[in-house]
Amino acid sequence: MGDAGGPVVGASGVEGTTGVGGASGVGGASGVGGASGVGGASGVGGASGSARMIDALPLPAGFTSYTWAATVEEVAERHGLSVEHVLKFDQNTPPLPGIPQVPLAESLARLNEYPDGQYRELREAAAAYVGSDTGWEQVVVGAGADDLILLCARTFLGPGRRAAITGPTYSLYRIATQLAGAEHAETVEGADLIWRCNPNNPTGEVTPAADLVELARARPGTVVVVDEAYIEFGGESIVPFLAGTPNLIVLRTLSKAFGFAALRVGFAVAAPATAALLEQRRAPAPVAAPAARIAAAALREPRFDLAPTIAERERVRVALVAAGWDAPVVTGNFVWVRSGEPLAERLESEGLIVRRFPQGIRITLRRPSENDILLRALGAEPGPRGGRSATVVRTTTETALRITLDLDGSGQARVATGIGFLDHLLTLMSFHAGFDLDCLAGGDLDVDEHHTVEDVLASLGTALAQALGTREGVARYGSAVVPMDEARAIAAVDLVRRPHAEIALAFTGDRVGGLALSLLPHALQRFAMEAGCTVHVEASGLDDHHVVEAAFKALGQALRQAVAPGGAGIRSTKGAA
């Protein structure tokens, strides 16, 4: 690094304008090393205050750092849309989060301590998960597969070495190679390391495991890193061949099938001696302790069900092909559309964010009703979808919201209305109804919560009506009595189209948290009217929090019974809904 002067990463320090440390990047005039920053007159090493250059290692000409697709907020602002209108199809993550299968209190009570630096529990769980008698010492953990890509690069690449990358593929292989100071080319001949993604992102192509093993065995001096980030969706793992092939490394992640991208957990598996090389070079504690615990529990008992995603992928792909798009067969939780048109730009102007590549676009699958919005934007006619789900997008001058409701879900909810207690109630209700609910709402909360509460419940009713479709084949009636300590609620539902609501909630006070309780009867009425069904809810008790919770739980339980399959046709002596 520099000498006595104040360090400044300047325009001439590195290549590229958008790269890390580029002229407009980290090291801009006011950035980390800016004249007024760390390296200023009184900063680290700043003796005179005169601008000197931090002597960062040069990056190759034209280097570009990792770039994410635009954020929801950016796209909303750029195209004059509300954030609730913007849907992200770019991250190859599942639409709803994985559920931690361990109580977190214990981890959270130890936030002052470092994780177990050996990560024994996580490594044992990962070894058992990948099978093939893998030993825990063959597993190396990292902050996502990304961290392990960088670890492989710094273990096996450097100046004078070369990696083989066949594109289009995951951009981090090139970035990691270049950051290590190595070259990259397409040809595998003479390469020190070969990056392979299987199934491949973004094309969804699968390479037979035998071909990858053959590639490695034919070149014992070359490391072959096989990134199996999407292997749960299909394709054959190379794990069974690791022990006998020391130059083979496999990478796995908890970000895709497991739905834990925010936790940042990935792992590499290799023959013991190769794993040891990586282990020597890894950071002391790359995975946070709570993340490691959640990941270990999930690996011990994986709970994901990928069949619906895979079926949905085919439904979307077939609809695109029928509309004339070049959408090849893929393995993964995404669809690949080959096209030279500026499709990503076009979709973005409608609030639909996809991943763009020079060769086409990659569309991550969301909920079926959300995928239909994207299909229509591409001029494709969505085919019939299995399951019962709906997406409602609604904007008024008072509120903007998006609700995706899946009646055949597993009770997972992601609710953000800006009113914490309403989020809590909708989460409870979906859990007890067995619905998956994704609800994002922004409203004029600066006025009061009235419009948001009413519009959210009304739109939830609309979503329920749409998801029910013809209402054929459902049980129709549901009822529940739910106690909550001293409070007790009764709910009864009839789904056949007789919109009517009887709501009697006996409160002792005015508010719970940010929610005025007087809004609830009216909002539940709107729910019943929009859903086109009869809803009775009665609840009373001493604690208003308990009263409302019991009411929403009871409504959830009643809905669960009413939407359950109940034989053919419409369950009415009139024969009509």
C-alpha dist (Å) from residue 529 to 182, 402, 454: 64, 19, 12
Q: Which is nearer to ligand PMP, 119 or 421 (CB)?
A: 119
Q: Is 317 strand, coil or helix?
A: helix
User: Which tokens belong to 532?
Assistant: 């086109």
Binding residues (CB under 6 A) for ligand PMP: these are 92, 144-146, 170, 197, 201, 227, 229, 253, 255, 261, 266
Question: Measured between alpha carbons, how far is 486 from 93 in angstroms, rounded to an integer?
Answer: 42
Q: Which is nearer to ligand PMP, 250 or 419 (CB)?
A: 250
> Residue 487's CB: how many other CB atoms inside 10 A?
21
Q: Which is nearer to ligand PMP, 145 or 551 (CB)?
A: 145
User: Which tokens belong to 241?
Assistant: 């061949």
Shortest separation between residue 92's beta carbon and ligand PMP, angstroms = 5
Shortest separation between residue 143's beta carbon and ligand PMP, angstroms = 7
Of the candidates 220, 212, 218, the one whose C-alpha atom is nearest the C-alpha of residue 274 is 220
Q: Which is nearer to ligand PMP, 296 or 495 (CB)?
A: 296
Q: Which is nearer to ligand PMP, 360 or 409 (CB)?
A: 360
Q: Which is nearer to ligand PMP, 247 or 253 (CB)?
A: 253
DSSP code of residue 52: E
Name the residue number minimizing CB distance to ligand PMP: 144
Shortest separation between residue 157's beta carbon and ligand PMP, angstroms = 17
User: Which tokens belong to 246?
Assistant: 């020391």
User: Which tokens belong to 301?
Assistant: 């008992």
Q: Which is nearer to ligand PMP, 172 or 524 (CB)?
A: 172
Q: Where are the alpha helices (DSSP H) in 4-71?
A: none
Residues in the chain: 577
Q: Which is nearer to ligand PMP, 364 or 399 (CB)?
A: 364
Shortest separation between residue 355's beta carbon and ligand PMP, angstroms = 9
- Give residue 315's Cα distance to chain centre: 21
Q: Which is nearer to ligand PMP, 175 or 524 (CB)?
A: 175
The C-alpha angle with vertex 458 and arms to 395 and 99, in degrees rounded to 5, equals: 90
Shortest separation between residue 183's beta carbon and ligand PMP, angstroms = 21
Question: Which string of b and e fits 424-437 if b means at least 16 CB within 10 Å?
Answer: bbbbbbbbbbbbbb
Shortest separation between residue 414's beta carbon and ligand PMP, angstroms = 19
DSSP code of residue 180: T
> Residue 146's CB: how many other CB atoms inside 10 A?
20
Shortest separation between residue 155's beta carbon and ligand PMP, angstroms = 17
Q: Which is nearer to ligand PMP, 201 or 459 (CB)?
A: 201
Shortest separation between residue 305's beta carbon and ligand PMP, angstroms = 20
Question: Measured between alpha carbons, how far is 405 from 458 in angstroms, rounded to an integer?
Answer: 13
Shortest separation between residue 261's beta carbon and ligand PMP, angstroms = 5
Backbone dihedral region for residue 315 (phi beyond 0: left; psi -120 to 50: alpha; all else: beta): alpha
Q: Which is nearer to ligand PMP, 153 or 261 (CB)?
A: 261
Shortest separation between residue 91's beta carbon and ligand PMP, angstroms = 7
**Torsion sign over Cα 111, 113, 117, 123:** negative
Question: Which string of b and e fits 324-346 if b means at least 16 CB within 10 Å?
Answer: ebebeebbbbbbbbeeeeebbee
Shortest separation between residue 100's beta carbon and ligand PMP, angstroms = 17
Q: Which is nearer to ligand PMP, 215 or 229 (CB)?
A: 229
Tell whether omega for the bond before 168 is within 30 degrees of 0, i.e. cis: yes
Q: Is 57 strand, coil or helix?
A: coil
Question: Measured between alpha carbons, how far is 318 from 328 in angstroms, rounded to an integer?
Answer: 9
User: Which tokens belong to 416?
Assistant: 């953000």
Question: Measured between alpha carbons, how far is 258 from 252 in angstroms, rounded to an integer?
Answer: 11
Shortest separation between residue 127's beta carbon and ligand PMP, angstroms = 18
